[in-house]
Chains A and B, each alone.
Chain A
Amino acid sequence: DVKVTQSSRYLVKRTGEKVFLECVQDMDHENMFWYRQDPGLGLRLIYFSYDVKMKEKGDIPEGYSVSREKKERFSLILESASTNQTSMYLCASKQGSGANVLTFGAGSRLTVL
Chain B
Amino acid sequence: SQQGEEDPQALSIQEGENATMNCSYKTSINNLQWYRQNSGRGLVHLILIRSNEREKHSGRLRVTLDTSKKSSSLLITASRAADTASYFCATVTYSGNTPLVFGKGTRLSVIA
Which residues of A have CB within 8 Å of B2? 42, 44
A103 at the interface (CB under 8 A from B): yes
CB of A4, distance to nearest CB on chain B (Å): 7
* Cβ contacts A1-33/B at 8 Å (1 or 0 each): 000100000000000000000000000001101
Please encode chain A, from 70 to 113, with 1 for each CB lying within 8 Å of some chain B CB and 0 for all others: 00000000000000000010101000111111111111010000
Query: What are some 10 contacts across the A-B interface (CB < 8 A)?
Result: A33-B99, A41-B104, A48-B99, A100-B95, A101-B45, A102-B45, A104-B43, A104-B44, A107-B40, A107-B41
The size of the chain B interface, using a CB distance under 8 A, is 27
Q: Which of A4, A43, A109 contacts B40 (CB 8 A)?
A: A109
On whether the beta carbons of A31 and B97 are closer than 8 Å, the reply is yes
Number of interface residues of A (CB under 8 A): 31
Q: How far is the CB of B24 from chain A (nearest CB, A)?
A: 14
In the complex, chain A residues whose CB is within 8 Å of the CB of B44: 104
